[in-house]
Amino acid sequence: MTNPTFKPVVYVKENCPFCLKVRLFLLEAGMMEAVEIRDFAPGSKQEEDIRAELSPHLAQVSFPSAQLEPGRYIAESDDIIAFLAVKSGREPTSLPVFENYVEGPFKMMMNLWKENQQLKAAAV
Ligand SMILES: N[C@@H](CCC(=O)N[C@@H](CS)C(=O)NCC(=O)O)C(=O)O
């Protein structure tokens, strides 16, 4: 059964490109008040607490993660955005700042990361 008073909790790591994608969606879709954001700096006590909370619920802890409903945790930025998009009634591709980030700097970063992995593998 769903709990109408429960706000989804979004767990984000500072300066993480996947987390920024979720943050941009929340901001541009006007969803900041509809969720609780728990963010942390790498190496902080908050990180330790958040990892301890998430690890019993996720096969592999990664960020962003979210608790969509009480006890229902997920950890994939696109799945989190898809859930929030339904809740907000906003189509992510209709949000220009979000879309510019995903298709621009985010895509470029992912491509550079893949290229770097291939170059490293070829250099061994
Ligand atoms: N496919 C995942 C990738 C997320 C990801 O790799 N996040 C990094 C942070 S930028 C992470 O969680 N690394 C492992 C860790 O911090 O434990 C998504 O889109 O959510």
Residue 38 counted as domain residue: yes
Under 8 Å between Cβ of 63 and 16: yes
Examine residue 34 and state whether it is found in any structural domain, yes or no: yes
pLDDT band per the 50, 70, 90 thresholds, residue 124: confident
Q: Which residues contact 8 (CB under 8 A, 6 or more apart)?
A: 34, 35, 36, 66, 67, 68, 69, 83, 84, 87
Q: Supply 89's token pair.
A: 């009634």
Residue 22: CB atoms within 10 A of its CB come to: 26
**Domain for residue 105, yes or no?**
yes
In a domain, 2, yes or no: no
**In contact, 20 and 101? CB cutoff 8 Å:** yes
User: Residue 72 maps to which CATH number?
Assistant: 3.40.30.10
- Name the residue range of residue 109's domain: 9-123
DSSP-derived pairing of the beta strands 9-13 and 36-40: parallel
Distance, CA of 99 to CA of 90 (rounded, Å) = 13
* Number of structural domains the chain divides into: 1
Can you tell me which atom of ligand 1 is nearest the CA of 17? 10
Pocket of ligand 1 (CB under 6 A): 13, 16, 18, 61-64, 76-77
CA distances from 76 to 49, 62, 73 (A): 20, 8, 10
Block residue for tokens 């509809």: 34
4 alpha carbon – ligand 1 mean position (Å): 29
pLDDT in tens, 31-69: 999 999 999 999 999 999 999 999 999 999 999 999 999
In a domain, 4, yes or no: no
Band of residue 1 on the pLDDT scale cut at 50, 70, 90: low
Residue 47 lies in a domain: yes
Residue 3 lies in a domain: no
Does 106 reside within a domain?
yes
For ligand 1, atom 6, the nearest C-alpha belongs to 62
Kindly report the protein residue whose alpha carbon is nearest to atom 2 of ligand 1: 76
pLDDT at 3: 78
- Whole-model pTM? 0.95
Task: Choose the residue to mutate in 60, 63, 74, 76 for probing ligand 1, maximizing ligand atoms within 8 Å of C-beta.
Answer: 63
